[in-house]
Structure 1
Amino acid sequence: DWIVSTGANLYHDMHYGLGMHLHHGSPFVSDVELRQAGVIRIYDIFFEYDVLLDTDAFVREVIAAPEFGRAMSSAEFHYRLGGYVAAREKLLSTEGHSLIAACHRAGVPVYTSSPGDSSIGMNVAAMALTGSKLVIDPNLDVNETAAIVYGAKRDGGKSGVLILGGGSPKNFVLQTEPQIQEVLGLPEKGHDYFLQITDARADTGGLSGATPSEAVSWGKIDPDQLPSAVVVYTDSTIALPLLAAYALANREARPLRRLYDRREAMLARLRDDYVAHLGTRG
C-alpha cells in the first residue's frame, strides 16, 4: 500500500492532527470580505488565517531538526513529518484525525508528485534561505515508486491503482509502468487493476479525465486487464466513504505490508536488474 497525494492535501490534513478548527460555510459569500476578516475559503470550508500561520510554524520547527538536514524522498520526508504530527495528536487526544500521522503509524509511504507546489514545499524553500540542507529529491521518488511496482510484480503479485480525482498524482502513480518498461527497458505489461473516481470528462484532453483505454496505449495498464477497469463519474467524497464502508464490512483486516520499511531493498533490486539489463545491451 502506498499513496501519492498533493502537497496541499497533506498540508491541510495536518490542521486536524494539530487540533485546529475548520468550519463549514457557504461558497456564495464575498471573498473580499473574507480576506478583510482574515478568513480562508476552500469552496465551503472556512478557517482563520492563523491556521495557516500556526501550521507553517509547526512545519518549520519540525524540519529544523537534524534528521531533516539532507536530501530525501518525499516518502521519507512525510514519514518523518508524520511522526511529529502523530506525537502532537497523542498529546492533544486527536488521534485518528490525520492521514499523514496514520500513514506514519502503518508504514505506508506517502509521495507527492510536485513537492514545491504547496505550503509544505514553500516552508521547505523558506528554510533553505537560512541554510537548511533539506531537499526533497524527485529522482528518489520516481525510482522508489517504480521499485514498489516492480517488486510486487517480480514477487508474483499484482499492482492495482485507486485514483481519487486526477491531476499530477494520477500520472505519478501510473507512470511507474512506463518508467519500468520505456525508460529502464525491463519487461512488464502494466498495472493489473484500475479504478478511478472522477468528475472530469475525457473529451477535454486533460489527464484527470483520461480513460484507462488511453493509459493502455502508454503501457500504464495491462491490455489484458482493460475489460475489468472501472471509471466512476462522481464526487470522491461520495464514493470513497461507500467503498471504505463496504471494505470494512466485508473483509477482515490483513497484516500491514509496511512498504515504507522495505523501500531501500526494493530500490536495490530495481537498480541491480537495471544495471544487469544495461550489461546485456552493451
Structure 2
Amino acid sequence: MSKGAITEFVEKYYKHFNAAALVDASKAYREQLDKGSKMLVSLAGAMSTAELGKIFSEMIRQDKVHIISCTGANLEEDVMNLVAHSHYKRIPHYRDLTAQDEWDLLEKGLNRVTDTCIPEEEAFRRIQKHIVKIWKDAEANGERYFPHEFMYKLLLSGALEEYYEIDLKDSWMYAAAEKNLPMVVPGWEDSTMGNIFASYVLKGELKASTMKSGIEYMTFLADWYTDNSNNGIGFFQIGGGIAGDFPICVVPMLYQDMERTDTPFWSYFCQISDSTTSYGSYSGAVPNEKITWGKLDIDTPKHIIESDATIVAPLMFAYILGM
C-alpha cells in the first residue's frame, strides 16, 4: 500500500509509549486485512457527535470494516449531524458552566455532549416524524426489523434529503446503509429514538415486537461470526461499555454454551480507552484478562492505546487507509 503524508508522519514521529502503540495496532490491523480477515469495529462514547463519520465513512466505503457494533446514540447521532449540523452549538468553556447555565441550555432545547450541544427540535424531531411512519408502515405490513435496519430504510428512502447540512460522504451511517453493512446495536432502548419508540408502545400506537430485540441481535451475530470466521475476525474497540462487551461475548457463547469447540477466537484485538484498570471496569480491563473469559487466544495480537479516541481513531483510520 502506498504511503500518504499522514502515514509517513506517524511512522517518523510516533516512536514510543501510546504513540508507538498506535502505530503497532494500525500495522496489525492492516495485516489482518491483508490476510483476508474480517474486522468488527465497536463505537462507544459520542463518536458520531465528534464527527468521526468524516473518516469512518471512508473506512466503510473501502471495505476496511465488515461489521459494526455501536450504541443507539452513535447510530442516531450521525444522522442527527447530517440533518441539523448548522444548528449545533459548540461550547468550548463547558468546564465553567454553572447549574443555571446548564438549565438555560435545556430551555433552549440544546442537549450538551461535553463541548457540543445537539439541537433537540432540529435533530430529534426532524428524524422522528419520518422514522415513526416507517415503524408504523412496517407493523401494518406485519414486518419486523432491527433498529439499524429501520435507520437504513430512512436514509435510503430520501425522506431526509431536504434537511441535509453536511456532505453526504461524511455520514458513516449513509455509507453503511449503501452497503447494507451488518450491524448490532445492543441496548438501543436507551437512545433517544429508543425512548421515542417506547413512548409509542406505551401509548398503544406500536407493538414492542415490531422492533427486533437484543437477543435477536446476538443470534444474528452468532450466525454472522460462524459464517465469516474462516480467515479470522478482528475486534477494534473504541471506548468500552455495551458496544464492546456485547459483541466480544459471542465467541465464548458459541464455544461454551453452544459447545461449538471449533469456534475460533477473535484474531486481533485493539482498544482505544482512557479508562483505568483499578476499579474492576470492563472498559479498563487489559486485553489478557479476556483470555480468561474465552474471548482471545494466547497468541491473538493484542493492543491497547490509552488515549483520547477522538484524537487516536482518526489517525489510525488514516494510517489504515494509507492517507
Q: In which range does the TM-score fall when normalised by the shorter chain?
A: 0.7 to 0.9
In the alignment, structure 1 residue 23 sits paired with structure 2 residue 98: no
Distance 1:213 1:76, change over 3 A: same
Report the equivalent of 1:143.
219
Which of 141, 160, 178 lines up with 1:105 in the alignment?
Answer: 178
In the alignment, structure 1 residue 240 sits paired with structure 2 residue 305: no
Q: How far apart are the structure 1 equivalents of 2:161 and 2:318?
A: 24
Q: Using the TM superposition, give the Cα deviation of residue 10 of structure 1 relative to its aligned residue in structure 2, in angstroms.
A: 1.5
Q: How far apart are the structure 2 equivalents of 1:92 and 1:34?
A: 24
Report the equivalent of 1:269.
none
Which of 58, 80, 83 lines up with 2:130 in the alignment?
Answer: 58
After TM superposition, the score normalised by the length of structure 1 is 0.78
Indicate conservation of the 8 Å contact 1:76/1:109, yes or no.
no
Distance 1:36 1:138, change over 3 A: closer
Report the equivalent of 1:210.
285
Q: Using the TM superposition, give the Cα deviation of residue 240 of structure 1 relative to its aligned residue in structure 2, in angstroms.
A: 0.9
Report the equivalent of 1:276.
none
Q: How far apart are the structure 2 equivalents of 1:204 and 1:70?
A: 44
Indicate conservation of the 8 Å contact 2:79/2:171, yes or no.
yes
In the alignment, structure 1 residue 169 sits paired with structure 2 residue 243: yes
Q: Using the TM superposition, give the Cα deviation of residue 37 of structure 1 relative to its aligned residue in structure 2, in angstroms.
A: 3.3
Gaps of 5+ in 2: 1-65
In percent, how many aligned pairs have the same letter?
24
Q: How far apart are the structure 2 equivalents of 1:8 and 1:138?
A: 15
Report the equivalent of 2:109.
38
Indicate conservation of the 8 Å contact 2:169/2:175, yes or no.
yes
Q: Using the TM superposition, give the Cα deviation of residue 247 of structure 1 relative to its aligned residue in structure 2, in angstroms.
A: 1.8
Q: Please list, as runs of the form range in 1=range in 2, the aligned pairs for 1:199-278 lying within 5 A after superposition.
A: 199-225=274-300, 228-249=301-322
Q: How far apart are the structure 2 equivalents of 1:81 and 1:215?
A: 37
Aligned residue for 1:234, secondary structure, equals coil
Length, aligned pairs only: 245
Which of 174, 178, 181 lines up with 2:252 in the alignment?
Answer: 178
Q: How far apart are the structure 2 equivalents of 1:91 and 1:12?
A: 15
Report the equivalent of 2:8.
none
Q: Using the TM superposition, give the Cα deviation of residue 91 of structure 1 relative to its aligned residue in structure 2, in angstroms.
A: 7.3
Aligned residue for 1:219, secondary structure, equals coil
Aligned residue for 1:157, secondary structure, equals coil
Q: Using the TM superposition, give the Cα deviation of residue 77 of structure 1 relative to its aligned residue in structure 2, in angstroms.
A: 3.4
Report the equivalent of 1:13.
78
After TM superposition, the score normalised by the length of structure 2 is 0.69
Q: How far apart are the structure 2 equivalents of 1:202 and 1:212?
A: 11
Gaps of 5+ in 1: 251-282
Question: 1:54 is matched by which residue type in structure 2?
Answer: R
Q: Using the TM superposition, give the Cα deviation of residue 14 of structure 1 relative to its aligned residue in structure 2, in angstroms.
A: 1.2
Q: How far apart are the structure 2 equivalents of 1:210 and 1:80?
A: 37
Distance 1:157 1:96, change over 3 A: same
Q: Using the TM superposition, give the Cα deviation of residue 63 of structure 1 relative to its aligned residue in structure 2, in angstroms.
A: 2.1
Q: Using the TM superposition, give the Cα deviation of residue 158 of structure 1 relative to its aligned residue in structure 2, in angstroms.
A: 0.5
Distance 1:36 1:74, change over 3 A: closer
Query: Bigger relative contact order, structure 1 or 2, given CA contacts below 8 A and separation 6+?
Result: 2
Indicate conservation of the 8 Å contact 1:189/1:221, yes or no.
no
Report the equivalent of 2:15.
none
Q: How far apart are the structure 2 equivalents of 1:4 and 1:11?
A: 13
Aligned residue for 1:96, secondary structure, equals helix
Indicate conservation of the 8 Å contact 2:147/2:211, yes or no.
no
